[in-house]
Amino acid sequence: MGTKTAVKIICRLLALVFLAACQAPQPTQQRPHANVGRMAARHVLLGNAYYDQGRKADAMREWGMAWEMDPTLEYLPDRMQKVKDGGTIETLLSEGGRGQAEAGTQHRIQQELKMAEHYYRQSKCKQAEMAWQRVLVLCPEDATATSGLKRLADEQYQGQIEGEFDHLVRESYERGMQHFRCQEWKEAEAELAKAEKLAPLQPQVKKHLMIVRLALQEEKDSGKADTLRQEAKQAENEEDWLKAFSLWEKISNLDPNAEDVQAALEKTASQLHILAAASIQAGQKALQLQQYSPALAHFNRALQYQPGQAEAMAGARQARAALASGNIKKADEQKARRHFDQGGLFYRQGQWHAAIDEWNQAVILNPGQEDYAYWLERAKQEEAKHMAQQCALAKTRYQDGLQAFQREDLLAALAAFKDVMELCPQGDEAAKANKHIVRIKELMK
């Protein structure tokens, strides 16, 4: 083969390669995945909203994120460069677009808050902190994120340089806080109590142990209130409204903020009002028929339903006066004696209220017997004396509670104020003690 032939062949091969290169399809920018495209669009809308609000730095950040997700948005680099150079662009969002952007922002905030709480309960504090910080970037005034970051700062263990067992305290504290964040109060108390034994004055251990013990006390009170609530509802089903009302009052003392208590008290009080009215009507009818013992029983029952009811008290006085002027049957005398003897037994045991009930029945059956009236009055005096002692003790416990509160011993203060509620629930100190209880629980949250 000659030289000229070889050159021709080489030229032809080069020409074929050149033609193939010219006919090859040019590479095109690949479209992003549909989900990525939607996310990029959200960033664009959010950036537009920030720009309209004058938040140019936030707008540039969102547009940059959109450009990284979807490089096909070729108009974004020019827009960002124009804003960076100090230029201005026209309003970007219509009312509908602005609403869509705001909805997208709220959705992101809720997602971040949900993740932050999830990380917090798993004691992944760094991830929780970052999630709450991202929320504050989107909404600097968000109270939940601000509170979450403050909570993390309060829980961060502060070591004691001179603490001999500080590493052991830290380990027990961290284990306790893991249970604390999951609201596993018994386990948290056990670990934090170990830490307290090693470092009784460590402020974070002391503070969170107090919170845990308060939570356990609330669980205990809540359990007791739930038991009483079941009994109260059972009494309502049996239409024992007097018992139901008494139980709801006890529940109110244990859990004054329970939503169902006030409605239940109003319902049972309304039923007691109806029963009292019916008893008064029956008592007045019995008076007209000169049936004085049944009349007195009806009026006394009305006074059980509504203590101090004026019409019932007047009817009871009228019935007692009529009985005093008449003859008492032999059976009533014997029955009155049995009530009197039973009242004496209660009196000797210091059960003043029970003694009053028995002697009151004895006086109703035999109002002419002076001994019955004397001992009835004596029991009332003893009960009043006992109540005065209880109220005096309640005042002392109230002062104990104030002193404990001033020295920041919240658990001791809480116990003292609860004693006040139990000792003298109708006294002036009870209302003030209840306010302190509510305040202490708020401080411990």
Six token digits for residue 259: 């939503």
**pLDDT at site 72:** 78
Handedness of CA 39, 44, 48, 54 (dihedral sign): positive
**pTM of the predicted protein model:** 0.42
Alpha-carbon span 302 to 356, nearest angstrom? 17
**What are the DSSP calls for 156-199, one per residue?**
S----TT-TTHHHHHHHHHHHHHHHHTT-HHHHHHHHHHHHHH-
Residue 320's H or E segment, with its range, is helix 310-325
The length of the chain is 445
Kindly give, in sequence order, each residue whose CB lies less than 8 Å from that of residue 422, ignoring residues fewer than 6 positions away: 253
With DSSP H G I counted as helix, E B as strand and the rest as coil, what are the percentages for the chain, rounded to 5?
80, 0, 20
Start-to-end CA span in the chain (Å): 99
Cα separations in angstroms, 436 against 209, 220, 409, 427, 439 = 20, 19, 13, 15, 5
Orientation of helix 95-121 relative to helix 34-52, angle to 10°:
110
Residue of 284, 334, 346, 339 whose CA lies nearest to 314: 284
- Using CB atoms within 10 A of its CB, is residue 200 exposed (0-12), middle (13-18) or buried (19+)? exposed
Angle at 184 between CA 153 and CA 142, to 5 degrees: 40
Residue 445's pLDDT is: 65
Q: How far apart are CA 56 and CA 59, in angstroms?
A: 5
Which portions of the chain are predicted below pLDDT 50? 1, 23-32, 34, 91-97
pLDDT at 341: 92
* pLDDT tens sequence across 299-310: 988 888 888 888
Per-residue pLDDT tens over the stretch 354-382: 889 998 988 888 877 888 888 988 888 88
Find where tokens 């004596």 sit: 378
- Cβ partners under 8 Å of residue 321, min gap 6: none
- 106, two tokens: 């709220």
Helix residue ranges, H only, 24-165 = 34-52, 56-69, 75-84, 95-121, 125-138, 143-155
CA atoms within 13 A on the CB side of 426: 2
* Separation in Å, CA 344 to CA 24, 359, 381: 117, 8, 15
The pLDDT score that the predictor gives to residue 49 is 73
The two most distant CA atoms of the chain are separated, in Å, by: 161
